[in-house]
Structure 1
Amino acid sequence: MGLWVAILLIPSFVKAHDRYLGEILYIAGSFCPKGTWLADGSLRSIVQNQALYALLGPKYGGDGRTNFALPNLVTSRLISVGPGQDLSLNKPSSKMRSNQETVMEADKWLHSHKAISLPHHVNKLLPCLVHEGTFPSRP
């Protein structure tokens, strides 16, 4: 009886893993999970999403008064901020010229390994942005 009462006292809102507001998840599926939106550059209301607007601001689009845009990660990918060795400076929320790279023969290095083949292929990862989550605290 005691164990049963203890189980009933656990709050229903306790989750195994809480997501952070603004977190980006890449999902190998056909839809974004509950509490997330597809990061496709769509406009969202500032009034209805004040906490998310506080994190993102108008840097991805929108007028900054009534709406703001989510980052568009459907045709692009995230890169880290700052310069890499022999690379140009990456600025926050900057757009890249292309989301494809051409690897030249001179750029390849000699290596060998066995090929691994899977019967089912995932051709696309959906970028989902968390809109129902914990507001991240400062470190």
Structure 2
Amino acid sequence: MTEPYTGEIQLFGFNYAPYNWAFCNGAMLPIQQNPALYSLLGTNYGGNGQTYFQLPNFAGRAGCNQGNGPGLTSRTIGEVFGTQNVTLLSTEMPAHTHALTVYNQTDVSKRASTPSAGNSLSLPTQNTVMAPSEAKPDAQFAPNMIGLAGGNLPHENRQPYLAVNFCIALNGVYPSFG
């Protein structure tokens, strides 16, 4: 492996941080023992700036560039944002309906296996019955057939992910600026 830049972040697919690297898990490091890394990171990710500073925390998070793009919120270095779970309120969902049309087609000659005007979607067999013959048109379904779902519990809000470790180089080549 080549010598990294101090403060360089790389992804590793194993469960340990290599020698002279640390997990990007928000750990606090003493400034006195890591002056070069502190000179690059400062307190962008936390710390008091007197005795310790904090490493970036990628645990359960995804990386994002600073700045903003068209129609996107501006982000600053070290900013933590987003959430892993979201509970939607009924006021946050657009008003919509779920239409359902059921055909009571007793005429076997009009049954088809593909959608077509006036036909139901069913297998064209002698014994196929989509609804009882005594079903009334415009009948109301049972009240518990449709309704609210989710029980006011949050749903998963993370993008697809792969378990890898973000690690930061504690030592290496100090980057030159300019």
TM-score by structure 1 length? Answer: 0.68
Separation in 2 of the partners of 1:32 and 1:61? 21
Partner of 1:58: 43
Tell me how many residue pairs correspond in the alignment.
Answer: 104
The structure that has the greater radius of gyration is: 2
Q: 2:55: which partner in 1?
A: 70
- RMSD over aligned CA atoms reads 2.0
**Sequence identity (%):** 30
The structure with the largest helix share of the pair is 1
Distance 1:23 1:99 in 2: 26
User: Which of 170, 175, 178 is the aligned partner of 1:131?
Assistant: 170
Question: Gapped runs of 5+ residues in structure 2?
Answer: 87-160
Which runs of structure 1 show a deviation greater than 6 angstroms over 4 or more consecutive aligned residues? none
How far apart are 1:128 and its partner, in Å? 0.4
**TM-score, scaled relative to structure 2:** 0.54
Instruction: Mark the CA change 1:100 to 1:87 in structure 2 (over 3 Å): closer, same or farther.
Output: farther
How do 1:1-139 and structure 2 match up within 5 A? 17-98=2-83, 123-139=162-178
Query: Secondary structure at the residue paired with 2:11?
Result: strand
What CA distance in whole angstroms lies between the structure 1 residues aligned with 2:31 and 2:10? 22
Distance in 2, Cα, partners of 1:132 & 1:22: 8
Distance in structure 2 (CA, Å) of the matches to 1:100 and 1:87:
21
Distance 1:76 1:42, change over 3 A: same
Q: Is the 8 A contact 1:77 1:99 kept in 2?
A: no
